[in-house]
């Protein structure tokens, strides 16, 4: 009964409740230690986090607090030193590199601060890359890459090289590349960090739209204004989750 009351209260305050949705991400007591010149660097010190399908979670914390490490481990780019990581209920913390790659290719899209596009490769070929790794035929690759580039408003920039695109356009290519495998989860690590405020807003609008279409979104940012687009903001300090807040949508 207490729960019912709580979620009614949330609805009154304009907070969307995801209590009923299944967990897509669960980190339990995740520790990550990097060995550096014989010294152990603790990047995460027992971080726990749960994210439900359809949520948009913002992650905020100072530089060096472990945000990118958290994203890499959640995104199956790296394994924890200790602790468990569940993606769609499957414990991925002890999978080998090939198994991790399969989870990534099947479920997860990444967007990075620095876009990470191949410079001498056209927009459409950059977007096709994940499909090439997945063994999709050339014709099908073109078709799907074109579709997602159109979806991010770049249907007229298919053959442009990254150097011929603005920062905001390059990040939209990176979003299209993240989308081309139809991920259920997008991880965005400071996606607006290298953009002017207008391009940053465009990129945020696209990410929010994708979340509105059902893709779970976890987004790291330094920028409070950007974080407030999320349903919930999680704060991290010195490798620990120190608190979270729900964002009211009353003002929208």
Q: What Rg value do the Cα atoms of the chain yield, rounded?
A: 18
**Reduced to 3 states, what is the DSSP secondary structure of residue 155?**
coil
Here the tokens at position 60 are 């905020």
- What residue ranges in 104-168 does DSSP mark as E strands? 108-112
Here the tokens at position 46 are 């027992």
Q: What span, in angstroms and rounded, lies between the C-alpha atoms of 194 and 204?
A: 13
**Reduced to 3 states, what is the DSSP secondary structure of residue 108?**
strand
Query: Judged by CB under 6 A, does residue 104 bind ligand ADP?
Result: no
Query: Judged by CB under 6 A, does residue 74 bind ligand ADP?
Result: no
C-beta closer to ligand ADP: residue 106 or 193: 193
Q: With contact defined as beta carbons under 8 Å apart, do 51 and 58 qualify?
A: no
Binding site for Mg ion (CB under 5 A): 67-68
Residue 68 CB, nearest approach to Mg ion (Å): 3
Question: By rule CB under 6 A, what string of x and - marks binding of each residue 49-68 to ligand ADP?
Answer: ------------x-xxxxxx
Residue 60 CB, nearest approach to ligand ADP (Å): 10
C-beta closer to ligand ADP: residue 70 or 175: 70
Q: Which does 122 bind (CB under 5 to 8 A by kind): Mg ion, ligand ADP, none?
A: none
Residues that bind ligand ADP (CB under 6 A): 34, 36, 41, 43, 61, 63-69
């Amino acid at each position: 009964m207490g729960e019912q009351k709580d979620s009614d209260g949330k609805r009154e305050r304009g907070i969307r409740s995801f209590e009923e949705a299944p967990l897509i991400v669960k980190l339990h007591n995740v520790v990550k230690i990097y060995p550096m010149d014989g010294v152990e660097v603790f990047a995460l010190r027992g971080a726990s986090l749960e994210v439900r399908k359809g949520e948009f979670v913002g992650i905020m914390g100072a530089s060096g607090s472990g945000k990118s490490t958290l994203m890499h481990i959640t995104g199956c780019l790296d394994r924890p030193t200790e602790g468990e990581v569940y993606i769609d209920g499957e414990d991925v913390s002890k999978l080998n590199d090939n198994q991790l790659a399969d989870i990534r290719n099947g479920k997860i899209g990444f967007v990075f601060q620095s876009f990470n596009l191949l410079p001498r490769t056209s927009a459409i070929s950059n977007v096709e890359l994940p499909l090439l790794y997945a063994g999709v035929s050339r014709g099908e690759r073109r078709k799907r890459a074109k579709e997602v580039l159109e979806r991010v408003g770049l249907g007229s920039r298919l053959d442009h090289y990254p150097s011929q695109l603005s920062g905001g356009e390059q990040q939209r290519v990176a979003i299209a590349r993240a989308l081309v495998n139809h991920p259920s989860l997008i991880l965005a690590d400071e996606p607006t960090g290298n953009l002017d405020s207008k391009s940053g807003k465009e990129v945020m609008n696209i990410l929010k739209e994708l979340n509105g279409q059902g893709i779970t979104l976890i987004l790291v940012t330094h920028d409070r204004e950007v974080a407030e687009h999320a349903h919930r903001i999680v704060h991290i300090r010195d490798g620990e989750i120190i608190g979270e807040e729900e964002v009211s949508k009353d003002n929208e």
